[in-house]
Amino acid sequence: MPSAAVLRIEIERALEHRIPAALTIAPRSVRAVAHLGIDSVDHLLDGGLPVGAISELTGPDSSGRTSLALAFVAQRTASDQVCAWVDVADALAPESAAASGVDLKRLLWVRCAPAEQLARAKPWARLDQALRATDLLLQVGGFGTIVLDLGSTAPEHGYRIPLATWFRWRQAAERTQCCLVVLGKMAYAQSSAAVVLECSPLRAVTVGTTVLQEFSFTVSRRRERFSPSARDLRKPPATTWSANAAWDAEKRA
């Protein structure tokens, strides 16, 4: 009985004139990326977050995940992209977004529960509204980036999001070439996520006793599906970055 290698050669010879690429392994392609504007993080990600894919920024409160997302949205709006921010808990501060360089005229802010309604709104009701809004925005298309802010959502609620939803969003993001960025305490999209970054606070630089001048954060790669494996061996598993913060506790009091 002929071996598998012999059979393969015979099949390739029979099909080489009709189907030249038969049984040929397709080369691994590198997906287009969009810069975050933070050199150390862009280097960690081989240029930035993948376009047409789901990226997750995870970590506890004050870990830098929102600042990282704002830096990315600022880059996207600066390149004339229209973006959307789906806000589950009304946590986005437009002043901070503008200070981070976001062009608010190019940002659609979807508030699932205004601050005055948070006490009455049930957590899953807000989350369900955010999921429906995200699904609608992805299917409609036209957005360069959509940020789904689940940062205040308890993990037990985040894990209730069906895997079929993430898979559908993954397909929609690829079809519309939208960057879907998900902020959360944990990673929820599992295999549907192209990139998962874990953020954590490092230190705060103060001037005197009341002025916060700068925050430093650590970013670690937990998943990066589209990065060539040959380059993964040379890249560090984590990096640090800093964000300016002119904040005076006495003046704010």
Burial of 200 (0-12, 13-18, 19+ CB in 10 A): middle
Q: Domain residue spans in the chain?
A: 4-252
| Residue whose pair of structure tokens reads 């993990």 in the numeric block | 155
Give the pLDDT score at 251: 39
Share of the chain above pLDDT 90, in %: 59
Q: pTM for the complete prediction?
A: 0.79
Q: What CATH number does the domain located at 4-252 have? A: 3.40.50.300
State the CB neighbour count (10 A cutoff) for residue 36. Answer: 24
pLDDT at 24 > cutoff 80:
no
Question: Tens digit of pLDDT for each residue in 31-72?
Answer: 799 999 999 999 999 899 999 999 999 999 989 999 999 999
pLDDT at 153 > cutoff 60:
yes
The average confidence (pLDDT) of the chain is: 82
Task: Return all residues near 172 (Cβ < 8 A) that are at least 6 apart.
Answer: 135, 138, 139, 178
Task: Find how far residue 83's CA is from the centre of its chain.
Answer: 13
Give the pLDDT score at 20: 54
pLDDT at 120 > cutoff 90:
no
Give the pLDDT score at 227: 56
pLDDT band at residue 197 using 50, 70 and 90 as cut-offs: very high
The kind and range of the H/E element at 157 are: helix 155-158
Query: Could you give the residue ranges of the DSSP H alpha helices within 3-151?
Result: 4-15, 39-44, 65-78, 94-99, 123-140
pLDDT band at residue 144 using 50, 70 and 90 as cut-offs: very high
Using an 8 Å Cβ cutoff, are 100 and 37 in contact?
Answer: no
CB environment 162-191: b (16+ within 10 A), e (fewer): eeeebeebbebbbebebbbbbbbbbbbbee
pLDDT band at residue 78 using 50, 70 and 90 as cut-offs: very high
pLDDT band at residue 230 using 50, 70 and 90 as cut-offs: very low
Give the pLDDT score at 253: 35
CA 222, 225, 229, 232 dihedral sign is negative
pLDDT at 252 > cutoff 60:
no
Q: State the DSSP code for 43.
A: H
Measure the CA–CA gap between 56 and 108, rounded to whole angstroms: 20
| Residue whose pair of structure tokens reads 């506890």 in the numeric block | 60
pLDDT at 231 > cutoff 70:
no
Using an 8 Å Cβ cutoff, are 136 and 143 in contact?
Answer: no
| DSSP bridge pairs for 55 | 181, 195
Q: Please, what is the Cα angle at 67 between 61 and 69, to 5 degrees?
A: 105
Give the pLDDT score at 128: 92
